[in-house]
Copies of this chain bind each other. A is one copy, B any other.
Amino acid sequence: MTQKKYFPIIISSPSGGGKSTVCDEILARRNDVAYSISYTTRKPRKNETDGVDYYFISREKFNQMLKQDVFAEWAKVHGHLYGTSKKVVENVLNKNKHVILDIDTKGARQLMSAYPQSLSIFLFPPSMKELENRLRKRETDNEADIQLRLKNAKQEFADATDYDVLLVNDDLDRLVEKILEIIDNKSLK
């Protein structure tokens, strides 16, 4: 009998591309996948909870953790610092669960180096117009933020060439089914 393998699952998309929704849906359907909670210096959005969505910390604390080499990846995105703790990732894998990471392309590249056994998935929006609609519907960003996020999408699309799997986020249910299939195939290989 083949031993099942557990690995980091890296999910990236441009801002508003729906990576958080996709991760939530995967977590809701599967007991053998757990979320890697990141550290961030940005302020919580409405409906975000400390210790659930992120560990919200000060910039001073973040810099201190950086010096202690706590992070498997970290990045500055839209002016805020984000980091993934190595201990958080390894704790999940040691419990025989896949660890899912919802991160930007800069952080993803560092994670791919730190964990070469990762499965990396990039989600494209169905169109830039749809991406813009989603950002506006979210009502969390001002106009300048939205324009910055749309502009950044160009570089993020280019970064997508680093990923194992490319998918378009048009039909959530079909997308999640497809991702679960890809996870299971890799897990049993």
Contact = CB atoms under 8 A, between A and B. Distances in A.
Nearest to A155: B158
B163 A127 contact: yes
A126 B161 CA distance: 10
A126 B158 CA distance: 15
Contacts of A157: 157-158, 160-161
Contacts of A166: 124-127, 168
A164 B129 CA distance: 8
A167 B165 CA distance: 13
A124 B127 contact: no
A188 interface: no
A189 to B, nearest CB: 14
A158 B167 contact: no
A126 B163 CA distance: 10
A127 B124 CA distance: 12
A153 interface: yes
22 contacts: A124-B124, A124-B166, A124-B168, A125-B166, A126-B166, A127-B163, A127-B164, A127-B165, A127-B166, A128-B163, A129-B164, A153-B161, A154-B158, A154-B161, A155-B158, A157-B157, A157-B158, A157-B160, A157-B161, A158-B158, A167-B168, A168-B168
Interface of A: 124-129, 153-155, 157-158, 160-161, 163-168
Given A124-B160, A154-B161, A157-B157, 16 more contacts: A124-B124, A124-B168, A125-B166, A126-B165, A126-B166, A127-B164, A127-B165, A127-B166, A128-B161, A129-B164, A153-B161, A154-B158, A157-B158, A157-B160, A157-B161, A167-B168
